[in-house]
Chains A and B, each alone.
Chain A
Amino acid sequence: MTVTPSAAAGTAPLPGLAPQRPAAARTVARALRVRGPDALCAVLILAAAALWIDSVRDVEIRRITDLGLVAALPFGAFVALGMATASFALTLRHPNVSTPLAILHLVVLVVMLHGATSLIDQEPAFNVVWRHAGVTDYVMTTGMVNPDIDAYFNWPGFFILAALATRATGLESALGLSGWAPVVFELLYLPALVVIARAFTADRRLAWIAVWLFYVTNWVGQDYLSPQAMAYLLYLAMVAVILTSLSRRTAPDLAAWRERGNRLLLRLRIRRPGVALAEVEPAAPVSPAQRAALLLICVVLIAATVGSHQLTPWMMLASLLVLVGLRRSTARGLPLITLVLLVAWMTYLATAYLDGHLKPLLGQTLDVQQAVAANVSGRLQGSHGHLLVVRFRLGMTALVWILAVVGAVRATRRGASSPSHLLLALAPAMLAILQPYGGEMLMRVYLFSLPFAACYAAQALMPSPGRRAWQLPLILAAAGALLVAGFLFTRYGNERATLFTPAEVRAVDRLYAMAPPGSLLLAASPNVPWKQRHYADYRYQLLSRQLRFEGPPPSSAQLATEVARYMRRNRTGRAYLIVTRSQKVYDDVLGSQRWGSSTDIERAVGRSPRFSKVFDDRDGRIFVLRHGRRAP
């Protein structure tokens, strides 16, 4: 540590000389090109990051409860989050925000909020990640895709890329890439989010707050190693182009919109906007050749998305339709091109999936009752702690939208609303009534609306012009404390149910070692760290989806009999049943079938003479049928 002369002498600085800052602050300040208190903000945020990493590394996963990770976080982690929030609020205290400093804060925030489990988990969390690694492994091993296996192979773009990355890095499995995937994806979103926010406002502080709000309210957790995380990046990049270089923001058009808005507001008896239209930073001009090239880039982004993910291209199409249809974009041909690419893909390369699923998919279309049941009521089950987490999520979502509405009203009153952002915030909702998407559609709608809703929500947090300078930092600190605390519940609320222990992974390894290819592998519930290899070598089934019981819940003996019957009836080779810690926790936290849980199945087959236990470890057990016994 460097000691300043004045400090060494124990005297105050001489009059006329600037007060000396600590050496660390000076170094950081020079690197970030910031002066004065900004340098202290930089030191504060770096200290927060260090404290966070030091605190979170010591989390014991067995202390995580049904409320999620928050129950296991040490005190230091909360202090670190408080420091980060306060530092960000202070950074935005004056209009001339240092761009490097704002970026530093957002990067640290992303690492802290979205990388927490990367520091904690001993094994990759979330069973879907293991499945994705298995699809990648199949492509890596065979070099091809087999559309007859399942839906993943009908939209394989991401998995082919993951296979390329895995093979080129020399890793055995794509699981090796999954650890920091959430942080990497979230950081890759950052530039596009900044472009989107800057297309909303010329006020730099407002733009940074919008991006910050996106990160602290994005609890959806779709940034793990997955096609949707990649496709979302392509979606944001496409929207960034559409909102800037391919936007229609000429003065007459805006004036017409404003006039229409004024008439509507008058009709609704809302105060007529009296403040002049706030300046939106004009998009950098582009030449016809650049415009054509940007259109081509959008087509490339859309094409890659069409082949990688089922839902995102439809979100792209919805966004493009509203923007072009309402004359907010000059890319008039893009919706048609998107539609052609979608139809071509489904007609030629996804037929294997659609052959068996088109009728059920069409049957779900516009079925509002089913959409509500799958997306809302179907999720309101599980343990008391989990129900609280679900309510937190609903509350967080509602809060963002309330803030967005308040912000939209304020922006409209000031004549500063951006119709394009409003349309993009609302466009994803069109798909909510079209498809339940396995009960995940509302979450996806929220995710796709969030970058634009966050712009309006940021507007709600901005003090009115002319207010005191310290108001914004105070508002941000208060909002940040609330939202960051909520984020810990909403984002990491399922952590107990999604993480895996090394002992469980060893149990699955043992299963693969003892089961010959072609065997039927059964699990009680979906939460198993399997399929990361041998994706097509076995038949995988879940008892929670296969067994049906009418009337009252079955006795233990009845349950064992049904499991035995299923294993005999379905086997093509041998049949194995694996029950792991995570399956039981999953049922405890998220809710099980009415007729019983993984624990009930384990207890039933453990007591039954029809089964023998061939592997028994702390976190996983494997059962097979005894030879010579036949199910009745």
Chain B
Amino acid sequence: MSVRTWSPMVIVGSCALAMFAGVAATGPSTLRTVLVIWFLAVCPGLAAIGLLRLRDPWLEVALVPALSFAIDIIVSGVLSYAGLWSASTAIIILAAISVSGALAQDAVADRLAHQRKPS
């Protein structure tokens, strides 16, 4: 199973778990911490990077956490400056971004692959 095949499934699954852990669950636990950090560190970036279909897996892995945290910072920062910050709102928006990216991966990636030519 290639990275392309499993990344949307990972994103959607992680988002579902993160929604449960970050929005619905009560009380701290190690599992909840791991789920939330995994979601914040992986899902938004994986959804975006998956769209590009890069040929260098190391570059993809390098970009996923960095881009994830960058998107997290921008989304939660905009909410904060707008006076709308809440963890639940931010998680829901990030999950929406991630799932949208995951669902769009096939369509956009096919188009990108079609256009691909070495620069």
List residues of chain A with CB under 8 Å of any chain B CB. Answer: 139, 143-145, 156-158, 160-161, 163-165, 167-172, 176-177, 184, 188, 191-192, 194-195, 198, 230, 233-234, 236-238, 240-241, 244-245, 283-291, 293-294, 297, 300-301, 303-305, 307-308, 330, 349
Chain A residue contacts of B52, Cβ below 8 A: 290, 293-294
Nearest Cβ in chain A — how far from B51, in angstroms? 7
Known: A237-B66, A297-B48. A170 touches B32 (CB 8 A): yes
State whether A301 and B87 are in contact (beta carbons under 8 Å apart), knowing that A188-B41, A284-B54, A294-B52 are contacts in the complex. Answer: no
Q: Closest residue to A299 on the B side, CB-wise?
A: B70
Residue in B28, B53, B80 whose Cβ sees the most chain A Cβ within 10 Å: B80
Q: How far is the CA of A290 from the CA of B32 in the complex (A)?
A: 35
B residues near A304, Cβ cutoff 8 Å:
69-71, 73-74
Closest beta carbon of chain A to B62's beta carbon, Å: 4
User: A168–B66 contact, CB under 8 A?
Assistant: no
Which residue in chain A gives the minimum CB-CB distance to B26? A170
Q: Other CB < 8 Å A-B pairs besides A168-B87, A300-B70, 17 of them?
A: A168-B18, A168-B36, A169-B33, A176-B33, A191-B58, A194-B58, A236-B62, A240-B62, A244-B56, A284-B54, A284-B55, A287-B112, A288-B115, A290-B112, A297-B63, A305-B70, A349-B81
Cross-chain contact B37 with A291 (CB below 8 angstroms)? no
Contact residues in B for A240 (Cβ distance below 8 Å): 59, 62-63
Q: A170-B28, A244-B59, A290-B116 are in contact. Are A144 and B76 (CB under 8 A)?
A: no
B86 at interface by CB-CB < 8 Å: yes
Please tell me if B16 contacts chain A, counting CB pairs below 8 Å: no
Q: How far does the alpha carbon of A158 sit from the alpha carbon of B112 in the complex, in Å?
A: 33
Hey, which chain A residues are within 8 Å of B53, CB to CB? 290
From known contacts A161-B69, A164-B87, A237-B67, infer whether A143 and B74 are also in contact, taking CB-CB under 8 Å: no
A291 to B117: give the CA distance in the assembly, Å: 11
| Cβ contact within 8 Å between B90 and A236 | no
Residue positions of B touching A, CB distance < 8 A: 18, 21-23, 25-29, 32-33, 36-37, 40-41, 48, 51-56, 58-59, 61-63, 65-67, 69-74, 76-77, 80-81, 83-87, 90-91, 111-112, 115-119
From known contacts A160-B76, A245-B54, A304-B73, infer whether A289 and B66 are also in contact, taking CB-CB under 8 Å.
Answer: no
CB pair B91 A168 closer than 8 Å: yes
B70 / chain A contacts, CB cutoff of 8 Å: 234, 300-301, 303-305
Asked if A191 and B25 make an inter-chain contact with CB atoms under 8 angstroms apart, the answer reads no
Question: Which residues of A lie under 8 Å from residue B84 when comparing CB positions?
Answer: 143
Q: Could you tell me the distance between the alpha carbons of A161 and B21 in the complex, rounded to whole angstroms?
A: 17
- The minimal Cβ–Cβ distance linking B107 to chain A, given in whole angstroms, is 13
Q: In chain B, what residue has the closest Cβ to A288?
A: B119
CA distance A177 to B37 in the complex (A): 10
**Cβ of A156: which chain B residues have Cβ within 8 Å of it?**
77, 80
A169 contacts B54, C-beta separation under 8 Å: no
Cα distance, A349 to B77, chains bound together (Å): 12
Q: Can you list the 10 inter-chain pairs with the closest CB atoms, starting with the nearest?
A: A237-B66, A285-B118, A168-B22, A304-B70, A284-B55, A167-B87, A191-B62, A287-B116, A143-B85, A170-B28
Cα–Cα, bound, A330→B77 (Å): 30
Chain A CB within 10 A, most for which of B59, B66, B72, B86: B66
B111 to chain A, nearest CB (A): 8
Flag if B80 contacts A169 (CB, 8 Å): no
Instruction: Select B80's contact among A144, A237, A289, A303, beta carbons within 8 Å.
Output: A144
Q: Which residues of A are found within 8 Å of B112, using beta-carbon distances?
A: 287, 289-290
Q: Are B33 and A241 in contact (CB under 8 A)?
A: no
Question: B91: nearest residue on chain A (CB-CB)?
Answer: A168
**Taking A157-B73, A287-B115, A290-B54 as contacts, is the C-beta distance between A188 and B65 under 8 angstroms?**
yes
Please determine whether A165 and B37 come into contact, CB atoms closer than 8 angstroms: yes
A-B contact pairs, 24 of them (CB 8 A): A144-B80, A157-B77, A164-B87, A168-B91, A170-B32, A177-B37, A188-B41, A188-B65, A194-B58, A195-B62, A233-B69, A234-B70, A284-B59, A286-B119, A287-B115, A287-B117, A287-B119, A301-B67, A303-B70, A303-B74, A304-B69, A304-B70, A304-B71, A349-B81
